[in-house]
Structure 1
Amino acid sequence: MAERQNDTLTAASASVQPSNESGPVELAVFDFDGTSISGNSPVMLVRYLKQRGMLKNSVVLRIVLWAAAYKLRLPQNESWVRGLVFRAFLGMPHEKADAFMRAFYDEKVDRKFRAQADEAMAAHRAAGREVVVVSATFEPIILRAMERHDFDQQVSTRMKIDENGHYTCEVDGLPVEGAQKVAAITEYADARYGQGNWKLACAYGDHHSDRTLLEAADRAFAVTPDKPLARTARRKGWEILDWS
């Protein structure tokens, strides 16, 4: 298995070509959960909160039922479920909640960050691309990952903060999920570089909900994909990477 992973990693890194310095800024965009890490950070966070008695059993049950429906690909309210998770932080100063999520990342998530993701990110940066992580998970988690790994920017789900400096149960804007990943990256890059001055050179995703992101890229990489994404990747000729 280690030999196969090394072969896959070498192939992925070797395929990274330098960006054209005279052209638009090139972005290499990585999904987080299931792609950059081997796991799902919101699921891990719910377990972490439950173990500490910070979420009621009734709330956890509603989250579990939502997740079951999501797996069946039934229409779901992405903002609503994130609001359920953030009930754990009601009345808590957002600085304290952020510190909690950073500690959660350090304890539970960082060890799941894939070496192959680190290698690919470093290769893209060496080639002159800006590496951006885009994720439906909560912003403090991704900000902590950015402190510890080799990417430049992040676009993730942000929760509203009230006038007292406490988190609410409302998403600020929309969750960065599915097609919203492309919209969020576009908003970020247009604001930073201007329309027409950047392009999505490469994108990495693992889940069928990442199809829109991968379709928007010049080169798409399906990372240890689920079955629907694997079918799409084979049909469209996208590269399939085994980062398991």
Structure 2
Amino acid sequence: MTAKTKLALFDLDHTLLPIDSDHAWGEFTQAIGWCDRAEFKRRNDEFFAQYQAGTLDIHDYVRFATDALRRRGAAEAMAARQDFMRQVIGPAIRPQARALVDAHRAAGEQVVIVTATNEFITRPIADAFGVDELIAVRLERGADGWITGEIAGIPSMRAGKVARMGEWLAARGLAWGQVEATFYSDSTNDLPLLERVRHPVATNPDARLRQIARERGWRILDLFQ
């Protein structure tokens, strides 16, 4: 019997990070004066509440979240992202999260971050964890090479995470039956992928996911306690 490829899949926000990087980026851009502070905060908090409730329209949110990026242009956006990584994300990366990723890597497992946050925000965060394989919301690029505010392909959210993982596997000549996957997530938004893998781990779970994990006998990991 051929040994199965072992995968360690990680959600990002509130799983490997104790914060929501998408929401934090919005807070950061209002702090540096890219948008009207009161109006942006109102809408950003509204979208975040919708995400927590499982009702978020990802296309609407990405248009909103990338509006300032589109207007500022690539050079200014990249410079702001470097500051964001240094000031916000770096201090939020905890040793226990690094150790968890490193333990799976040391065991010979392929580590993949699978997140509903867009690739502009999450690529340098994945790099900070030493993770090459990132499945994030892909941003459509216009003729000028810069983002348009639309999503390219299937957004990696809810059932879209399963679909995008399927694409990732197929690109490597693999199918679900050929892998043994562990998936760490904090949210019921990720139930489709948690139910698809062999080893679901409710990580820093919200109240609803904690209850589901208890009922189904899933492992519960409170990483940041």
Fold conserved between structures, TM > 0.5: yes
Match of 2:13 among 6, 10, 33: 33
User: Given the alignment, which residue of 209, 223, 226 partners 2:206?
Assistant: 226
Tell whether the 8 Å contact from 1:105 to 1:141 is kept in structure 2 after alignment.
no
* Matches for 1:113-124 after TM superposition, within 5 Å: 113-124=93-104
Report if the CA contact (8 A) 1:222-1:230 is conserved.
yes
Unaligned runs of 5+ in 2: none
Residues 115, 137 of structure 2: 8 Å contact kept: yes
Aligned partners of 1:25 and 1:199 also within 8 Å: yes
Structure 1 unaligned blocks of 5 or more: 1-19
Would you say 1:43 and 2:23 are equivalent positions?
A: yes
Q: Residues of 1 paired with 2:114 and 2:50: CA distance?
A: 23
Q: Which residue of 1 aligns with 2:151?
A: 171
Cross-structure match for 1:112: 92
Q: Which whole-Å CA distance do the structure 1 matches of 2:128 and 2:53 have between them? A: 34
What is the TM-score with the length of structure 2 in the denominator?
A: 0.89
Deviation at 1:39, TM superposition (A): 0.7
DSSP-derived class of the 1:134 partner = strand
Change (3 A) 1:47 1:234: same
Map 1:31-110; keep pairs closer than 5 Å: 31-56=11-36, 57-73=38-54, 75-94=55-74, 96-110=76-90
Q: Is the Cα contact below 8 Å between 1:156 and 1:176 reproduced in 2?
A: yes
Range that drifts further, 22-31 or 154-163 = 22-31
Residue 187 of structure 1: aligned partner? 167
Percent identity between the two aligned chains: 28
1:6 corresponding residue in structure 2: none
> What do the CA deviations read for 1:31-77 (whole angstroms, capped 9, x no partner)?
0000000010111011111112212344543333333344444x331
Equivalent residue number for residue 126 of structure 2: 146
Structure 2 letter corresponding to 1:68: A
Q: TM-score, normalised by structure 1?
A: 0.82
RMSD: 2.2
1:78 maps to a residue whose letter is I
Q: Does 1:137 align with 2:148?
A: no
